Structure 1
Amino acid sequence: MFQRVYNQILGYAEHRYAMWILGVIAFLESSISPIPPDVLLVPMMIGNRSKALHMAGVCIAASVIGGILGYWIGYGLYDIVGHYLVTEEALVSYQEKFSQWGFLLISIKGFLPIPYKVVAIASGLAHYNFGLFMIASCIARASRFFMLAGLIYYFGEPIKEFIERYLTYVMVGGVLLIVGTIYLARFI
């Protein structure tokens, strides 16, 4: 089962519109979708290591632009539906915490493999300073995607062989890593 999915993703990675698809996935993950761009980015980078930095750049740009939409969703939707979900007192407390730790929260959580839309929407909901949100987003997303590109560029072929040999374990480990990161991120 995993092998078929893996082969299908590799097929998408070789599609002539793969960069556009990658950009759309990164954009949506930062605003409305829980699917991380890594599911396409990693196979694309492994398949064409010489373009790994370019692919990371596409993800960074699309992710930050999608984060802007996510921020404004959080900023604007409180008046429409947010007050049903969060009390005014809780919102004030949340905004105080965000004003104190917001830059660090955005930088750390933006680097982790959790849906970035959560960070972007929460930043808007807290009415966090938009300029600081943008700076932290650029730092977090660039760090994450350029680090991934660097690792795959330098260790690409052994990583590809390892993934193909132990695909089931890699997939299960990846899911556990994401679930564990989401669980631990609640405490940061």
Structure 2
Amino acid sequence: MKLFKPLYEKALVWAAHPQAERLLAGLSFVEAIIFPVMPEVMLAPMTLARPSRWLRYASVSLAFSLIGALVAYALGHYTFEALRPLFDSLGWLPRIDAMVGKLRSEVAGSAWGAFVMLVLAGFIPVPLKIFTWASGIVGVPMIAFIPGMIIGRGKRVYLLTGAIRLGGARAEALLHKYVEWLGWAVIALLVGAVAWWQLRH
């Protein structure tokens, strides 16, 4: 089943749009709340087209992801019970409930545990929106939530745009060619890493 390559090719179309930066900002915002397509898929072609703007593009994506995360946090805190049927219909409810339980246990120990989980969220195969909603439901302290979101999402967008900036067209061509294999390989590695981390803790 092809998943990553079709999304990447669609992102190429978005990245060529005259308002690509605004689309990136909007995608980053709504993805943190509910949208399924990650904003990173727009960053590689946009950075390739204008390499000197790699830092700007990553910063725009991070800033609007953080704003979206705060909105999702507030929605989780104030409206979750009313929206449970919606999440159930989307198939998210079991994952949200599981994440709520795990975050609640981490927060009970210290805010540091929640911070670590949010940092790791950038590398595990669970959508960011699951963490943002669950954090609001549990009431993760802002002192842990905001830095965790900045580092968790920031390390992904800056590493990606930085790699494309350094590697240029060759890096983007390789990404396009092997994006499907890379996507599934990364997920497999991350699942293994998360399983190992959970066994250790």
1:74 to 73, 76, 90: 76
Matched, 1:105 2:117: yes
Structure 1 counterpart of 2:179: 170
Q: Secondary structure at the match of 2:175?
A: helix
CA contact (8 A) 1:28 1:66 kept: yes
Structure 1 counterpart of 2:18: 16
What displacement does 1:110 show? 3.3
What displacement does 1:40 show? 1.2
Matched, 1:161 2:170: no
CA contact (8 A) 2:58 2:158 kept: yes
What displacement does 1:4 show? 8.0
Structure 2 counterpart of 1:116: 128
The one-letter code sitting in structure 2 at the alignment partner of 1:177 is V
The one-letter code sitting in structure 2 at the alignment partner of 1:98 is V
- d(CA) in 2 for partners of 1:120 and 1:3? 27
Distance of aligned partners of 1:157 and 1:132 in 2 relative to their CA distance in 1, 3 Å threshold? same
For residues 1-188 of structure 1, the aligned pairs below 5 Å read 8-81=10-83, 94-100=103-109, 101-110=113-122, 112=124, 114-164=126-176, 167=177, 169-178=178-187, 181=190, 185=194
Distance of aligned partners of 1:185 and 1:36 in 2 relative to their CA distance in 1, 3 Å threshold? farther
CA contact (8 A) 1:30 1:66 kept: yes
Distance of aligned partners of 1:3 and 1:69 in 2 relative to their CA distance in 1, 3 Å threshold? closer
What displacement does 1:157 show? 2.4
The one-letter code sitting in structure 2 at the alignment partner of 1:135 is P
Unaligned runs of 5+ in 1: none
1:60-118 Cα offsets, whole Å, 9 max, x none, are 101000000111122123443559968x9x96775232343101001111355642111
Identity in percent? 26
Distance of aligned partners of 1:154 and 1:69 in 2 relative to their CA distance in 1, 3 Å threshold? same
TM-score by length of 2: 0.74
- d(CA) in 1 for partners of 2:146 and 2:173? 37
When the two structures are aligned, how many residues end up with a matched partner?
A: 183
- d(CA) in 2 for partners of 1:146 and 1:185? 22
- d(CA) in 2 for partners of 1:73 and 1:132? 18
1:156-178 Cα offsets, whole Å, 9 max, x none, are 222123235xx2x4224324534
Unaligned runs of 5+ in 2: none
CA contact (8 A) 1:99 1:128 kept: no
